[in-house]
Homo-oligomer: A and B are copies of this chain.
């Protein structure tokens, strides 16, 4: 995929006026990059992978995603709904209940994200070892 824009120039430092480069993911204004920023969000990843298994209600998500605030979860699910990645279903029970579920589009994204999580689970130990080695080299 190719983005066809040139850079905005507004956010660049003074010394380098806009240069013409093949525009791709690494360009700031590319929509793909914007999407990547969103997708790489911490809560987004966790919420989406939770919903892979089953639809969940708001407070169920909140309990499961430890450390998320009401505000951030609310923000996250609204964003996901806007992006067409999850559906929001309101059931008019006595206290209203709201359920969130993956859309097919969201499902395809979860697969990519899961690869990332799997990597983290598989390689955490090795990374920790590298960190320790690095720190000892610096301090010792």
Contact = CB atoms under 8 A, between A and B. Distances in A.
B39 A120 contact: yes
Contact of A36 (B1, B26, B120, B134): B120
A115 interface: yes
Contact of A8 (B21, B23, B66): B66
Interface residues of A, number: 63
Contacts of A130: 82-85, 105
B11 A66 contact: yes
Interface of A: 1-3, 7-8, 11, 13, 21, 23, 25-28, 31-32, 35-37, 39-42, 45-46, 49-50, 63-67, 69, 81-85, 105, 108-109, 111-113, 115-131, 133-135
